[in-house]
A and B are shown apart, each in its own frame.
Chain A
Amino acid sequence: QLQLVQSGAAVKKPGASVRVSCKASGYDFTNYCIHWVRQAPGQGLDWLGFINPRDNSRIYAQKFQGRVTMTMDTSTKTVFMDLSSLRPDDTAVYFCGRDIGDYYGADVWGQGTTVTVSS
C-alpha cells in the first residue's frame, strides 16, 4: 500500500552529520516530490525543503541552506536527508512527506525519525 517508511532513531554528537532515509512504496515514485519537515520536542513543524525525483531538483529552506542535502536512489525508491554540523537544537523528530502537487503540502507521511544531538 501507499506508504513512506523512514530509518530508525539516531544519536549524534555536536558537529557530526546524520542521514535519514525515506523509502516510498505503493505509488509512482517519480511523480511526487518528497518534503522533509522536523519537529523539536514540544514545538511546531519546521520545513527543511524538498527533492523532486523526476529531475533531481531540490529546494531548501533558507535557514538550512549549507547544512542540508537531499538525495535519492530511484532504483530503491528511497530519498535521503543529510544534515551536517549538528547542534543540540537540531534534536527533533524528522518526517518525510509526499507532495500533494503544489510543492509545499504533503498528503502521506513517514512515521518520523528521532534524531538526538548530545555530547
Chain B
Amino acid sequence: QSVLTQPPSVSGAPGQRVTISCTGSWSNLGGGFDVHWYQQFPGAAPKLLIYGNRNRPSGVPDRFSGSKADTSASLTIIGLQPEDEAVYFCQSNDRSLNGAVFGGGTKLTVL
C-alpha cells in the first residue's frame, strides 16, 4: 500500500491527452511538500520528468506538464506518442514518516 495513490493504469490513442492523478494527505502533498514525477521504461532507472510540481528538466518535451493543489497532483501528457508508453511515478516527502514517499505507479498504454 503506497502512501501516495495513483491509478494502476491509463490509456489513450496517439495524439490524445491523458492525465495521471496522485492523491496524498496533509502529511505530504497537502503539507507544503512539492511533488515530482518520474518516467520509467522496463529494465531502466527512473527518469525525472517533472520537479517542483510543474518544472521540466532540460530535454523533457513541453507535452508533459504537472500541477498540484492541496492534497492532489496531476501529470498531463498532450499529443500522446507511442514512445510515451511507460510507468509513471509521483513522489513527495512525508512529515509523519520523515522521508520520501512514492505513488504505486501508473502504467500508460498508448493504444
Given A100-B51, A104-B92, A59 and B98 touching (CB < 8 A)?
Answer: yes
Given A44-B105, A61-B97, A105 and B36 touching (CB < 8 A)?
Answer: yes
Other-chain contact of B99, A44, A59, A107 (Cβ < 8 Å): A59
Interface residue SS majority, chain B: strand
Is residue B65 within 8 Å, beta carbon to beta carbon, of the partner chain? no
Q: Are B93 and A45 in contact (CB under 8 A)?
A: no
Q: How far is the CB of A51 from chain B (nearest CB, A)?
A: 13
B6 nearest in chain A by CB position: A44
Total number of B residues with any Cβ neighbor in A under 8 Å: 25
Give chain A residues whose Cβ lies under 8 Å from the Cβ of B34.
102, 105
Q: How far is the CA of A37 from the CA of B93 in the complex (A)?
A: 14
Q: How far is the CB of B51 from chain A (nearest CB, A)?
A: 6
> Which A residues fall within an 8 A CB radius of B?
35, 37, 44-47, 49, 59-62, 95, 97, 100, 102-107, 109-112
Q: Are B99 and A95 in contact (CB under 8 A)?
A: no
Q: How far is the CB of B73 from chain A (nearest CB, A)?
A: 13
Is residue B10 within 8 Å, beta carbon to beta carbon, of the partner chain? no
Q: How far is the CA of A67 from the CA of B48 in the complex (A)?
A: 28
Is residue B111 within 8 Å, beta carbon to beta carbon, of the partner chain? no
